[in-house]
Amino acid sequence: MAIDVPVRPLLVPGATIGILGSGQLGRMLAMAAARLGVKCHIYAPEPGPAFDVAADFTLASYEDEAALAAFADKVAVVTYEFENVPARAAEVLAAHCPVLPDWNALATSQDRLTEKQFINSLGIATAPFAQVDDAGSLARAVAQIGRPAILKTRRFGYDGKGQTAIRDGSDLAVQFRSLGGVPCILEGLVPFLREISVIAARAADGSFAAFDVCENEHEHHILAATHVPAKVSADTAAQAIHIVHRILDGLKYIGVIAVEMFIVEEQQADGSKRERVIVNEIAPRVHNSGHWTIDGATTSQFEQHIRAICGWPLGSTHRHGRIEMRNLIGEDTNLWRDLMGESGACVHLYGKHEARAGRKMGHVTRILPEE
């Protein structure tokens, strides 16, 4: 495969990388970087758990162009723990040092419409969708997609925020206004059997590596648990990984990506059933459903991302056993005493002060014998 990225020198151990965001993903990225002798400088508008494990930090807003420029001048490459990096911030940073994954990946995944159009352009299936710019276009979209459907803001949605269900009898104008009157898309409901994700990486030389397919359980729109391997056929798993490979090549991506997908069951002409993979959404970053790789794989998703953005080879994605990862959300964190006493439970706590409802406080990974 041709090298399709700008030639730049490999980083060497001892280099400093910059990370936008001070949350648990930034924290786990910083710890993975440290394993490889790479220093981290965290940039965030508020202090967070990543500050405690980084060599340096900048506390400033994503609109503070002078602070962004000073930060970018001190690091060899900038990466991020979330996809909603403001366009202008990415532009300012990129004028000073490489930002990886690049703006193309950020822009594509920041907007649900652009993202789905890009995926479809590769010949990969998504849920049916329609653009919604106002109450009038919502009515046309509902006529096209049918009810029930989900109205989602095109930008800034996560963990079920920025979305509302359109059911029979819903008042479309009220629903549209409830999301702030911003540009939206309407998505058809997919009657899925399973929710899966693939965590994969693409290196600067175009090489690709995927972890085994994850099966995810959500509660109240928040990831509750991940099981690996997913209970899908070998063909389906290969199909899911192939889809992610095409997405990464399509974006000329460098780094770790997470692609969330649905498995639907389709009736064939001969009456038999087969599994089909539909892409739900892309997260151009390390992902909660890949946290099990810290304990359960030879290389963690965090180390894999650091390797990719440093221009180094990808590591082995070999899995140590059957995996169950469970998030500790809000008050779940009070289980820490019991979990510490459970033989074989790998406990991770993110060092957050306040256990607010819905807040991801930590996770626990169990490595079980293969079935």
Contact set with a second copy (CB under 8 A): 13-14, 27, 30-31, 34-39, 51-55, 295, 298-299, 307, 312-313, 315-316, 318, 320, 333, 336-337, 340-341, 343-344, 346-351, 353, 362, 367
Closest CA relative to residue 314, chosen from 250, 245, 368? 245
C-alpha separations of 82 from 26, 120, 147, 209 in Å = 9, 23, 32, 21
Minimum Å gap between C-beta 294 and a second copy is: 8
Minimum Å gap between C-beta 95 and a second copy is: 27
Whose structure tokens read 């151990």?
A: 13
CB-wise, 27 or 112, nearer to a second copy?
Answer: 27
Residue type, 152: K
Minimum Å gap between C-beta 332 and a second copy is: 13
CB-wise, 11 or 68, nearer to a second copy?
Answer: 11
CB-wise, 178 or 207, nearer to a second copy?
Answer: 207
Minimum Å gap between C-beta 349 and a second copy is: 3
Helix (H, G, I), strand (E, B) or coil at 367: strand
Which letter does DSSP use for residue 13 in this model? T
Q: What is the 3-state secondary structure (H, E, C) of 55-114?
A: CEEEECCCCCHHHHHHHHHHCCEEEECCCCCCHHHHHHHHCCCCECCCHHHHHHHHCHHH
Helix (H, G, I), strand (E, B) or coil at 352: coil
CB 288 within 8 A of CB 360: yes
Minimum Å gap between C-beta 301 and a second copy is: 15
CB-wise, 72 or 361, nearer to a second copy?
Answer: 361
Q: What is the phi/psi pair of residue 344, to 5°?
A: 90, -5
CB-wise, 10 or 122, nearer to a second copy?
Answer: 10
Q: Provide CB contacts within 8 A for 256, sequence distance 6+.
A: 199, 200, 201, 285, 286, 287, 290, 301, 302, 304, 305, 308
Q: Provide CB contacts within 8 A for 242, sequence distance 6+.
A: none
- Residue 349 CA to residue 355 CA, distance in Å, equals 11
CB-wise, 309 or 367, nearer to a second copy?
Answer: 367
Q: What is the phi/psi pair of residue 113, to 5°?
A: -70, -50
Minimum Å gap between C-beta 55 and a second copy is: 4
CB 49 within 8 A of CB 350: yes
CB-wise, 34 or 190, nearer to a second copy?
Answer: 34
CB-wise, 37 or 180, nearer to a second copy?
Answer: 37
Minimum Å gap between C-beta 321 and a second copy is: 8
Minimum Å gap between C-beta 65 and a second copy is: 28
Minimum Å gap between C-beta 333 and a second copy is: 8
CB-wise, 27 or 227, nearer to a second copy?
Answer: 27
